Structure 1
């Protein structure tokens, strides 16, 4: 990723009239699209463009009558693709590459099929934008028509895909044919997203997958997106912009809409806004923590919460706030950390081939004195009687506190390094209650963390059913095995 051209930002820095659902990581690759502008929807005469939804309508100024996916829709794409990092993805219809860029930035290997790519100016524009974003090498741009070109590409590359985005021709029978061919070459764990379900012809593709037994759902966005999924994968959760007066066209009335309850929506937003200065976790992982911990409380699973790797304390305080609001029984949140910086990594602890100490996040970094950080945010949220800081190396503190901690109803393992992660699981796994959830923060980022989790599986003769949160976070339930 070209960090100068693609910003990872807070949603407060988005342009006016843009919206991104809570719980989604936010990126801003706008600099990679110098011809992108906001246009008035009234210039388009396409009958299915929702003029009454006042989100920014982005277009390329060279062709103002065809819009890009909205900011919210682009982030559904990006956050969904994060679940498929390092896997194969296929996009049918890319226009000037705005959607392709968001998908590729999530770290998938992306094939893109669009007949307009045979036009030199469009191909060059798409390639330049992807190059500026630092993802061109992971994208295969192919000129051609679906479904024929999908068949050809699958045969030529012996390819199956895990993630699909269908945004090609919206006229029947094209969306249906796209859905049929995508299903044919879909992995067992797969997800397919559709754009522009405002158009009745497009829903034929989603209808087909629903009739084939896929799970389906609608995202209430500017142009309405649809998702179909199967296997060990879950779609991102989304909440429609509460400022809009939403409605569903008649041809979508039978579909479930992704929507958080008002209480959850407001509660999570308020918590995240408060803890943001005290956490390094992205919003997708914070949202996962919130959902998992809240469910533990509502299901009344017995035990305390434990976080190993608390740093500034924002996520521990969030867990404390959830206990305070939702728990039916007294619980404590044990927040374990050196609070004096990262311990020494080993040679296993690398990211993209770079040793941890050469990445800027090595030994001694992330120092967070208790009184200035976790204690302060706990006071702000009024949970200092719930959040218990445990200072020291895991290898030293966890054996001592294991008995006091007792049964664990929720475990957040954010140890980064191999040895730290092994210390967490070797000391605490047996304390975790059956069906309790465990979230691991650094599985996708640090090789050592990933190796530790799989080494522990082998030691115990188990294979965890891992659920992807984003490019690095995963979670699983104890006792739910492959």
Structure 2
């Protein structure tokens, strides 16, 4: 007999990526190439221009969230869970669903985003982002109210979900987070990736996980991760998830 928890989580992943009623062989543009839809949504290589989705990170990265979070729960790794950069909220919704089905009621889910726009580059402080134009992509900006409505659609919004609205440099240093078991960074820029690492990684428990969404896709993000790991002599191996997502476990 199939495990009902796994059936629910698999169904939720397909729903978040709008795969339940999609035509799996329909051709979409993924990383600039015509690709069957089911393949594009496996590795999250499709931008959200081909129909409604609540997550564009793909099945492999959602599976990785599930693997890491269930390992944290099984091994009693202490701390809350956070995602920085949430778009429609799909990955955060999935994280909250995993917590709820495992009755992890003592852990909070922190959902951090400007909920307005990707901030323009700050080349004086972070010259690595000088050429970025992501702030001009208005469909990447999703209001807080829309993200909260999406949580309600999936019946996972409760008092354990805490929203941090604003720029990371303003919200993360003062957020009342004592300890983290899982961090997911999806900030795209060098600045937002570095700020997520600076303010959150020291709070990550031993045995906890950090997941990086844009390591393979955006050189600025990769450089921020590599710079931080070098500065802090982090030797834990970086493990690839798909063409862009990576993670490692804190020793």
Which TM-score band (shorter chain)? 0.7 to 0.9
Structure 1 residues 282 and 356, CA, compared in 2 at 3 Å: closer, same or farther?
farther
Alignment pair present for 1:343 and 2:116: no
Alignment partner, residue 170 of structure 2: 396
Give the 3-state SS of the residue equivalent to 2:141 in structure 1: coil
Alignment partner, residue 55 of structure 2: 279
Listed as ranges, the matches of 1:114-263 within 5 Å are: 262-263=3-4
Alignment partner, residue 182 of structure 2: 410
Q: Which structure's relative contact order is higher, taking Cα pairs within 8 Å and 6+ residues apart?
A: 2
TM-score for the superposition, normalised by structure 1: 0.42
How far 1:463 sits from its partner (Å)?
A: 2.4
Alignment partner, residue 370 of structure 1: 144
Q: Does the CA-based 8 Å contact 2:61-2:245 persist in structure 1?
A: yes
Task: Measure the CA separation in 2 of the matches of 1:269 and 1:434.
Answer: 29
Q: Does the CA-based 8 Å contact 1:305-1:331 persist in structure 2?
A: yes
How far 1:307 sits from its partner (Å)?
A: 0.6
**Which ranges of structure 2 fall in alignment gaps of 5 or more residues?**
18-52
Task: Measure the CA separation in 2 of the matches of 1:437 and 1:383.
Answer: 22
Alignment partner, residue 321 of structure 1: 97
Structure 1 residues 327 and 433, CA, compared in 2 at 3 Å: closer, same or farther?
farther
Q: Does the CA-based 8 Å contact 1:378-1:387 persist in structure 2?
A: no
Task: Measure the CA separation in 2 of the matches of 1:434 and 1:461.
Answer: 15
Give the 3-state SS of the residue equivalent to 1:416 in structure 2: coil
Task: Measure the CA separation in 1 of the matches of 2:225 and 2:169.
Answer: 16
Task: State the Cα deviation string for residues 135-159 of structure 1 (Å, max 9, x = none).
Answer: xxxxxxxxxxxxxxxxxxxxxxxxx
How far 1:364 sits from its partner (Å)?
A: 5.4
Q: CA RMSD in A?
A: 2.0
Alignment pair present for 1:444 and 2:216: yes
Alignment partner, residue 475 of structure 1: 247
Q: Does the CA-based 8 Å contact 2:85-2:112 persist in structure 1?
A: yes
Q: Does the CA-based 8 Å contact 1:348-1:447 persist in structure 2?
A: no
Task: State the Cα deviation string for residues 233-260 of structure 1 (Å, max 9, x = none).
Answer: xxxxxxxxx9xxxxxxxxxxxxxxxxxx
Task: Measure the CA separation in 1 of the matches of 2:232 and 2:107.
Answer: 28
Structure 1 residues 328 and 368, CA, compared in 2 at 3 Å: closer, same or farther?
closer
**Which ranges of structure 1 fall in alignment gaps of 5 or more residues?**
1-241, 243-260
Q: Does the CA-based 8 Å contact 2:96-2:109 persist in structure 1?
A: yes
Alignment pair present for 1:303 and 2:76: no
Alignment partner, residue 50 of structure 1: none
Structure 1 residues 328 and 389, CA, compared in 2 at 3 Å: closer, same or farther?
closer
Q: Does the CA-based 8 Å contact 1:298-1:326 persist in structure 2?
A: no
How far 1:369 sits from its partner (Å)?
A: 0.8
Alignment partner, residue 156 of structure 2: 383
TM-score for the superposition, normalised by structure 2: 0.78
The number of equivalent residue pairs is: 210
